[in-house]
Structures are given as C-alpha cells and as structure tokens.
Amino acid sequence: MVELIVFAIAGVVVLGGALGVILTPNTTRAALSLVATLFGIAVLFIAQDAHFLAAVQVIVYAGAIVVLFLFVMMLLGVDRDEDLRIEPLRGQRWAAIAGGAAFLAVVLVALLAGERTLTGQRGSLLFDQGLDPNIVLIGRDLFTNHVLAFEATALLLTIAVVGAVVLVRKVSNESTRPTDEEVSS
C-alpha cells in the first residue's frame, strides 16, 4: 500500500514537471520544472531499490546539468520572447523529423531483435582488468535490470539539451545586420 502511494505521488510530480517543461513559455520555470521531474524520477528509483541511480539522478542530472542549463540561459538572456516559426535553416524541421523517425526505427529494431548482452559473459573485459566486484555488479544491474529507466533518463536529458539549444539560437534578421559601410568604419 505504501509503495502505491509513493508511486502515485512521484508519478504526479514527474508528470506535472514534464508538463511544466513543455507548456511553460518561461525558460527558467521550464528548467525548474525539469528539476521537479528529475527529483520525481529519483524517488521512483528509490522505490525500486536503485539507490545508486537515485543518487546519480539527483547529483548529476538535477544538481549539475540543470544548474548549467539555467546558468547558460540566464547568461545568454533567452528569457525574452522570440518567434520560433522562423527557421534559420530551411528544411531543418523536416530533417529533424526524418532523423528522429530513423532513430526510433533503429531503437525499435534493436529492441525487437532480442536481448544480447555482453556483460553476462565470464570472460569479459570487466573481470580481466581487476575491477571491484561491486562496480561490476552495479554495471551489470544497471544495464540489465534497470536499462529502461537508465535510457529514459538519458532520453530526458537529450531532450533537455535540444530544448536548450533551440532556446539559445539566434534568429538572423537582415535588418539587424550591419551594412558594409558600418563595418568598414
């Protein structure tokens, strides 16, 4: 019963934060919504007894990377409104859609092809280099039992990076470019 309550509360926080990232026009509030989403995911990791992943989630993703996003956004002043319908490169949206569809197809083919892991082999490089058995067990657990959560976190981070790049980009406007006379003087 307690697990269900924790899951429901964390799920509401994750979904609310994700909606805040998507629907909020203010970039600072969107980044703070991303922090809420990442903390909710960390709670879900704790509920699954993946304490190492929860710590990495909070320290690395919510702590360092989102703070870096906020710093860059505030430094570059992206909190002003821009017209996102203007494309600086023609066809970039269609290329992005085609690339995303191709990436999705590759991922689906890889998932449907079956599970082939290299970590299950006894003669793997991990054991040959004398690594700590706990690190090997964490790596094996991370890439077998918790691979979906790990990939979902990586996907969320990738989406955040792409969003930050889109928000930071400058729209070139002919009226704001200096003329040849202004440059030569």
Question: In the chain, what percentage of residues exceed pLDDT 90?
Answer: 15
Report which of residues 88 and 42 the model is more confident about: 42
- Report residue 152's pLDDT band, with 50, 70 and 90 as the boundaries: confident
**Every domain of the chain and the residues it spans:** 2-82+146-184
State the pLDDT at residue 17: 93
- Report residue 74's pLDDT band, with 50, 70 and 90 as the boundaries: low
3 state SS for the chain: CHHHHHHHHHHHHHHHHHHHHHHCCCHHHHHHHHHHHHHHHHHHHHHCCCHHHHHHHHHHHHHHHHHHHHHHHHHHCCCCCCCCCCCCCCCHHHHHHHHHHHHHHHHHHHHHCCCCCCCCCCCCHHHHCCCCHHHHHHHHHHHHCCHHHHHHHHHHHHHHHHHHHHHHCCCCCHHHCCCHHHHHC
State the pLDDT at residue 126: 42
- Report residue 120's pLDDT band, with 50, 70 and 90 as the boundaries: very low
Average pLDDT over residues 73-84: 62
pTM exceeds cut of 0.75: no
Average pLDDT over residues 39-62: 86
Contact 157, 65 (CB under 8 A): yes
- Report residue 10's pLDDT band, with 50, 70 and 90 as the boundaries: very high
The pLDDT tens digits for 14-36 are 999 999 989 988 777 888 898 89
Note the CATH number of domain 2-82+146-184. Answer: 1.20.120.1200
